[in-house]
Amino acid sequence: MKLSEFWRSMDDEFGAGYARVVASQTVLDRVENRTAQEALDDGVRPLDVWQAVCAQHDLPRHRWLGTDVGEPK
């Protein structure tokens, strides 16, 4: 997953405005108790961060690979 795909998946899941709030304020267990933004800034792979977001928010497993460009919203 590229960084742009991470943000597209966040926007699709949480909405364009709220995605940034989730990324900057939700502490994620799976990335050593960092926020998504902190983890990305520290070089954690976007897919790992996305999957941490998915786990923290109990998203369905079919969403854990992110939004496919051709997938209907």
Q: 14-40 pLDDT, tens per residue?
A: 999 999 999 999 999 999 999 999 999
Give the pLDDT confidence of 38-63 residue by residue, as tens digits.
999 999 999 999 999 999 999 999 99
Residue 34 domain flag: yes
Into how many domains does the chain fold?
A: 1
Flag whether 52 is in a domain. Answer: yes
What pLDDT is recorded for position 69?
A: 55
Q: Report the SS3 class of residue 27.
A: strand
Domain presence at residue 72 = no
CB atoms closer than 10 angstroms to residue 8: 18
pTM score of the predicted model: 0.89
Torsion-angle region of 58 (φ positive above 0: left; ψ -120 to 50: alpha; else: beta): left
Domain coverage including residue 15: 3-63
